[in-house]
Structure 1
């Protein structure tokens, strides 16, 4: 079972439990038990879709008798009015699952859409858009997959798959010699784990370029002219990769990308992405 599947299973169960509780009283008392219906999930605004499989799983968790047809797969770019999926079956079940399915689909499509906007703005440069660990608790695997659907690239998944040495770690470490020893110990024990060093000054960049085993250098809150200098300091070397972070928005990302940096990490594509406006159009059929 993948991380996405494991996260989805838990989150779907929790989401339906908090919404349905002891039962959907509206559906039970106001919708005839034999009423059949067809519903379409429709994009109200343009964007990029993510989470159709999660929404489909929500409908099936509520009622396996529902027929859920996915018309647009994850990663699809949609315009206003596009039909994403069609659901047919017992009206009660469709209405009970509606809000939970839309919550997942709107949230994840919002992340994919926000990512796609940044990816579009850096086209023609070497820069790739990265996510961060600033994700909704429990949703990390789903939100990071949504970043991929939007054309972005995943940074580390957690504290376990990349060492990221920040300013507080540097203060506690005790100098470059100790940092080098720590890198060698880590690489000996975990050769597949990458090492990233955070720098907010060019002298730190210069120092980290002299260390063995550094895979990435994070250029934290550096102005574009300093980022260009850092890129020049690396010269013709492929690694360490250079990642820009801090004060990145839609107005600044292109200028940052044109410095020659390899990656641009943006926390807002997960922690502040607005939900994509999606709705369900419902048609009751004869029982």
Structure 2
């Protein structure tokens, strides 16, 4: 297990210590799952002389690196807290609990049960760099529903902690096995925005990345970041945090990969329709330097 700070004091991407900070709140669903916190109303009956009356939520800080521009939550959850947060992820119990805090989540649930339409464009972008039927490792690939080249591969390995049943043709592998196979593509999509230590997560993928292997990382290009390109003043604008605890730009991803001896060979900014809203994904393709 990697020792890490519970409250970030360095950038999660470039390691810099010039961090702008601004107060924010942790959304109640996350605060309940991670810390057991519930929102509470401070009333006159509390008898507190120096606190204003009103609703109290779990406080946190938004941090933005003044070197690379990465924006992230100051809390870096422990392994146990991450397990609690993602317990029964998107099953009936999880969805019911989350909807009790966020009634609008009902519109989101059905979207995750089908393959994302935009993946055809991702595959078309990746294809010129790869063999006709690539050997693929999808890190954090869940069932394989959104794995790249799901229908056109020589093998599809999935490393995922969820333990869910995989789609036909996919094979589960553990960390010890990934260094035994030659892969053309290692993909990690829509994962790094969730994790407390993205650099360490990518470091764990390195045994699977040979001299000819390509690494594809994909994250949401969050609206706050893409609507304020190059801004280092985003911390005061980020007033709440949910399950996406890291907001990336291309520079931040490149700096993180450089620290691991990897270099970016191409990048992708792709507008997507994710069912209930228009968004954009940010992808980077890298290999060993």
Alignment TM class, shorter chain as reference: under 0.3
Higher relative contact order (CA 8 A, sep 6+): 1
- After TM superposition, the score normalised by the length of structure 2 is 0.25
* Bigger Rg, which one: 1
Larger helix proportion of the pair: 1
- After TM superposition, the score normalised by the length of structure 1 is 0.25
